[in-house]
Amino acid sequence: MTHFYGTLNLQTGEETVLRSDIMKAEVSALHLQQLLAAYPEVPLLLLWDRAPWHQGPAIQSVLEANPRLQIMWLPAASPDLNPQEHVWKATRKAVSHNHNRAKLSELAEVFQTHLTNTCFPCSLLDKFAYHEIRAMFI
């Protein structure tokens, strides 16, 4: 089975994606490394749900080695607060509803392409006046 690790940049709407055959902390740690490489030299705040693969020694190791990466844990059982859940929903609707792909690998490829080539606007930052607050500190 194919799984995707995805992180939405709330400022740009861009999605960073890692494809894997398994969901476990070691792969989540690889995704964190991918994010650190994608956004070098800037502090990162990651809003994360409490999935089991988002916790453990592999995650702690990445966090300890990279103090510019911080995790803010979302409340349990609150997918409506998680912007990434809206990305998954939009992509499933665009790609996997009424599809005609005969192989799961083909569908996974289209899914990944959609994630990486689509801008997913998110109103979460606007809801909390992020752009006005940020402008005061620039």
Residue 122 corresponds to which tokens in the numbers above?
Answer: 């998110």
pLDDT of residue 92: 94
How many whole angstroms separate alpha carbon 66 and alpha carbon 134?
23
Enclosing domain of residue 101: 3-137
Which candidate, 114, 115, 79, places its Cα nearest to that of 5?
Answer: 115
How many whole angstroms separate alpha carbon 16 and alpha carbon 72?
18
pLDDT of residue 136: 47
68-99 pLDDT, tens per residue? 999 999 999 988 888 999 899 999 999 988 87
Find the Cα–Cα–Cα–Cα dihedral 6, 20, 117, 9, rounded to 10°: 20
Query: Which CATH number belongs to the domain containing residue 111 in this structure?
Result: 3.30.420.10
pLDDT of residue 137: 46
Residues 6+ apart with CB under 8 A from 131: 125
**Cα 65 from chain centre:** 20
Domain count, the chain: 1
pTM to 2 decimals? 0.86
pLDDT of residue 132: 52
Spell out, as residue ranges, where the chain has pLDDT lower than 50: 133-138
DSSP structure class, residue 75: P
At CA 53, angle to CA 27 and CA 106, rounded to 5? 55
